[in-house]
Amino acid sequence: MKGSYLGEALPPYLSAHATQPDQILRDLAIETSALHTKYAGMQISPEQGTFMTMLTQLTGAKLAVEVGTFTGYSSICIARGLAPGGRLIACDVSEEWTAMARKYWERAGLTDRIELRLGNAVETLEAMSGDEEIDFAFIDADKGGYPAYYEALLQRMRPGGLIVCDNTIQGGYITDPDAEGNVPVMRAFNDQVTADPRVDSVLLSVADGLTLVRKR
């Protein structure tokens, strides 16, 4: 369970002491949980969404990229933080999940800011114009793909640009040497980022772990 390593009482306390999601985001979270029960945990937490909007605003981002859109909660949070005239390229492989995202983007009045690109995210990034520099990026997709997504994004980030990587604590099991599943992959990714001389990074215990990576 996300946040379980913090104890049962602390995660709801943290969530309650952040700016709360509006009705659109609340409805999206409810519908996602109802229709995609098995995968509902893939959705970011409310306080994480507030944090994402704030980070996007603080970077002054005009071009953002999201790898892993799911039903659209994080893309709404990012798009709302963009500078005037900014846009978000949302990368995903699921037409089913992103159909819900499209519905809520329209409801939020963000269809002019978000461009959905279905398909392999690395190929999508490689197809971008070399003149396009990314200001802000969010990685929240298949964990085995993180190294490739990170590298493809970093090559296209402007100096000072920010990459945010989700699930980097893995429910607190990241320090367990016997943990299986995605933990060894994520541990290797965390080590890769920490050792990268091209960036400065910090791993935060927000939700299931967020790593902030600033390109030098």
Q: What is the pLDDT of residues 85-125, one digit of tens each?
A: 999 999 999 999 999 999 999 999 999 999 999 999 999 99
Structural domain boundaries, residue 68:
4-215
Strand partners, 90: 66, 116
Contact partners, residue 180, CB within 8 Å, separation at least 6: none
Domain with residue 14: its CATH number is 3.40.50.150
- At 6 the pLDDT is 60
The arrangement of strands across the sheet holding 87-92 comes to 114-118, 87-92, 63-67, 134-139, 157-166, 210-215, 199-204
State mean pLDDT over 27-41. Answer: 90
User: Based on the structure, what is the number of domains in the chain?
Assistant: 1
CA distance 141 to 26: 22
How long is the chain? 216
Whole-angstrom CA distances from 127 to 99, 121, 153 are 23, 10, 12
- At 5 the pLDDT is 56
**pTM of the predicted model, to two decimals?**
0.94
Residue 1 has pLDDT above 50, yes or no: no
Neighbours of 78 (CB within 10 A): 28
Question: Any idea what the Cα angle at residue 80 is, between residues 129 and 102, rounded to 5°?
Answer: 75
- At 2 the pLDDT is 43
pLDDT in tens, 135-169: 999 999 999 999 999 999 999 999 999 999 999 99
Alpha helix stretches (DSSP H) within 65-182? 73-81, 95-107, 121-126, 146-154
State mean pLDDT over 35-40. Answer: 84
CA atoms within 13 A on the CB side of 63: 13
